Amino acid sequence: MRVLAVDPGLTRCGVGVVATGQGSTLQIVTVGVIRTSADLPLHERLHELRVELDAVFERTQPDAVAVERMFARHDVSTIMGTAQASAVPMLAAAERGLPLGLHTPSEVKAAVTGNGRADKAQVTTMVTRILGLEVAPRPADAADALALAICHHWRGGGLARRGAGTDGASTAPAAVAYRQAAAAAARRSRSASKTYRDALGAASQSAPATRPANRGVRP
- Helix and strand numbers (H, E) in the chain are 6, 5
Question: Sign of the CA dihedral 84, 86, 89, 95?
Answer: negative
15: nearest Cα among 156, 108, 141 = 141
111 three-class SS: helix
Any catalytic annotation for residue 141?
Answer: yes
> Given strand 2-7, what is the order of strands in its sheet?
26-35, 12-20, 2-7, 64-68, 100-103
The one-letter code for the residue type at 140 is A
68 is catalytic: yes
**Residue type (1 letter), 161:** R
Please identify which of the residues 48, 68, 107, 144 carries the catalytic annotation.
Answer: 68
Find the radius of gyration of the CA atoms of the chain.
Answer: 25
Q: Which of 7, 48, 107, 144 is catalytic?
A: 7
Phi, psi at 28, each rounded to 5°: -75, 140
Q: Which of 44, 58, 95, 141 is catalytic?
A: 141
CA 182 to chain centre: 16
Assign 38 to helix, strand or coil. coil
Active site residues: 7, 68, 141
